[in-house]
Copies of this chain bind each other. A is one copy, B any other.
Amino acid sequence: MDSDNRAKILSHALRLFAARGYDAVGVQEIVEAAGVTKPTLYHYFGSKRRLLDALLEEHFMALYAVVEPAACYRGDLSRNLNEITAAYFRFAKSQPPFYRLLLSMYVAPPDGESFHAAYGLYRRQYELIETLFKQAAEHHGNMKGRHRRYAATFLGMINTYITLALNEAAALDDELLYKAVHQFMHGIYS
């Protein structure tokens, strides 16, 4: 019963931001959807921007928590890539509005409020993946010096498929997962 209103504000703000964007949604609209008034929102979050930060923080930790173990190298890169992709697919399916918001913020205009809030989150994922490729390169000599490119394109591929799924042009099932990782590893001719 404690912070019931706080949670309601968060969930409605997420839904609205994901549907129409941070700038296009007014504070008034959020509090009306949540069934509270403005001072309640400003009591919990202080500003619209900090409401967004709180939103990102709470949901992102859940994503990071499942990706981090999946990116821990244990001698089998292809297994890592499958587990990471599975983790992302599962998370995107469980929190579509949040992942939509996250995606839109990664490529948001750089001077906007939403970009800087999200850039750090992207970096943390990227570094996780880059470290994995760096470690794997020690076992696959011909991968040396490519970890940056591989990390970026691997994350890019995952986000490409999730974008398709969010627009209902793909289903994030096990078959797609296998084909996606296979294509990433072996190219399009195999």
Chain A interface residue count, CB cutoff 8 Å, equals: 49
Nearest-Cβ distance from residue A168 to partner chain B, whole angstroms: 10
A88 contacts B by Cβ under 8 Å: no
Which of A2-10, A36-44, A62-70, A157-165 lines the interface with chain B?
A: A157-165
Docked complex Cα distance between A104 and B113 (Å):
14
A95 contacts B by Cβ under 8 Å: no
Question: Out of B21, B140, B150, which one reaches A108, CB within 8 Å?
Answer: B21
The 8 A CB mask of A172-190 against B (1 = contact, 0 = none) is: 0000000110011111111
Which of A12-20, A27-35, A51-59 lines the interface with chain B?
A: A12-20
Smallest CB gap from A163: residue in B: B107
The residues of B that contact A146 with a CB separation of less than 8 Å are 179, 188
Most chain-B Cβ atoms within 10 A of its Cβ — which of A24, A143, A164? A24
Question: Out of B23, B149, B159, B189, which one reaches A23, CB within 8 Å?
Answer: B23
A120 contacts B by Cβ under 8 Å: no
Identify the A interface with B (CB < 8 A): 17-21, 23-24, 100-101, 103-104, 106-114, 140, 142-143, 146, 149-150, 152-153, 155-157, 159-161, 163-164, 167, 169-170, 179-180, 183-190
Q: List 15 A-B contacts (CB under 8 A).
A: A17-B109, A19-B110, A21-B108, A21-B109, A110-B167, A143-B189, A150-B188, A152-B161, A152-B169, A156-B157, A156-B159, A156-B163, A183-B187, A186-B187, A187-B190
